[in-house]
Amino acid sequence: MEFNSVGTTGITVSDLCVGTSPLGGMPQTYGYSVEEERAVATVEAVFETAIDFMDTSNEYGKGESERRIGSVIAAMGGLPEGFVMATKADPDGRDFSAHRVRRSFEESRERLGLERFDIFHLHDPERFSFEEITAPGGALEGMQQLKEEGLVTAIGVAGGDLEAMDRYVDLGVFDVLLNHNRFTLLDQSASALMTKAVELGMTYLNAAPYASGLLAKPLEHAPRYQYREPDPAVIERTRRLRALCDSHGVELAAVALQFSTRDPRVTSTIVGVSHPDRVRELVANREAVIPEELWADLAELISPS
């Protein structure tokens, strides 16, 4: 595992980050639920590894993810030195004002038992108009106020819509860009935006390298693709990728993960986990030895036709 700097903020993070949305018990998104005991054991397993970066959100499981993580932090007597906990500002219904950002921050701080955050994201702003978010008294102003007051070190924007993310990158006020499901073995549509963000001095965090499950689970387990049922064309592409990995004697999940971690534009790769065993598998996939010949073959397989 490698450790990378988050721009010039002084923050250093492992190139793996554990995503925690499944730990809030979100069956509508993942097709399964995670009970509290398992969620707590999963968080405890993270702290037993070299991973020093975890990502959550105010709204995951209506705050349940943060509450469960916070219970582990409290039992430990606080976060280990250097561990980075990132969370996100979320709206309350149609309210995504500066006041709501502040309240979201306070709710997260209370659940997690932390005074401040190294990284604090504006979450899925594409749910609102750009003009509403950036207006005086809007969410963007609230994010900037928290940074100015020293309550957060770095502010980020986190979302899935590439066009929307591009507009927020152009503002030049965010330190971090987090995008999900758009830089995987099945979809590299974020590549141009990644390059742009990094050239502008931003840190890029790549979330969901397994495309929400399809690249990590056997097809017979009916995994989802980008949180939906995969179509036949995507399933066929996945079969070809798996066959290539099998021919080189490596796991598709390891290749899918390292496709992200080996890209110099990616500071850290965020992977959601829902069981202690998945934490250990994640670390094993990061450390797996993958032959250079596979990467050459892979480039031909995933290149645009």
Predicted confidence band at 218 (pLDDT cuts at 50, 70, 90)?
Answer: confident
Mean pLDDT for all residues in the chain: 94
> Per-residue pLDDT averaged across 251-257, rounded?
97
Residue 266 confidence (pLDDT): 98
Sign of the Cα torsion 114, 120, 124, 127 reads: positive
> Per-residue pLDDT averaged across 195-201, rounded?
98
pLDDT at 1 over 60: yes
pLDDT at 304 over 70: no
d(CA 244, CA 181): 21
**What's the pLDDT tens digit per position in 93-116?**
999 999 999 999 999 999 999 999
Residue 28 confidence (pLDDT): 66
Beta bridge partners of 207: 180, 270
Contact 126, 164 (CB under 8 A): yes
pLDDT at 249 over 60: yes
pLDDT at 305 over 60: no
Residue extents of the structural domains in the chain: 3-230+254-290
Residue 130 confidence (pLDDT): 98
Q: Amino acid identity of 35?
A: E
d(CA 118, CA 228): 32
- Of the chain, the percentage scoring pLDDT greater than 90 comes to 86
Beta bridge partners of 87: 120
**What's the pLDDT tens digit per position in 64-100?**
999 999 999 999 999 999 999 999 999 999 999 999 9
Contact 144, 155 (CB under 8 A): yes
- Beta-strand runs (E) in 95-168: 117-123, 152-159
Residue 212 confidence (pLDDT): 81
Beta bridge partners of 271: 18
Pick from 240, 255, 243: nearest CA to 288: 255
Contact 23, 60 (CB under 8 A): yes
pTM of the model: 0.95
**What's the pLDDT tens digit per position in 124-172?**
999 999 999 999 999 999 999 999 999 999 999 999 999 999 999 999 9
State the CATH architecture for 3-230+254-290.
Alpha-Beta Barrel (3.20)
pLDDT at 30 over 70: no
- Burial class of residue 105, CB neighbours in 10 A (0-12, 13-18, 19+): buried
Q: Amino acid identity of 130?
A: F
d(CA 29, CA 18): 17
Q: Where are the alpha helices (DSSP H) in 173-226?
A: 191-199
Q: Amino acid identity of 135?
A: A
Torsion of CA 249, 191, 23, 7, to 10 degrees: 110
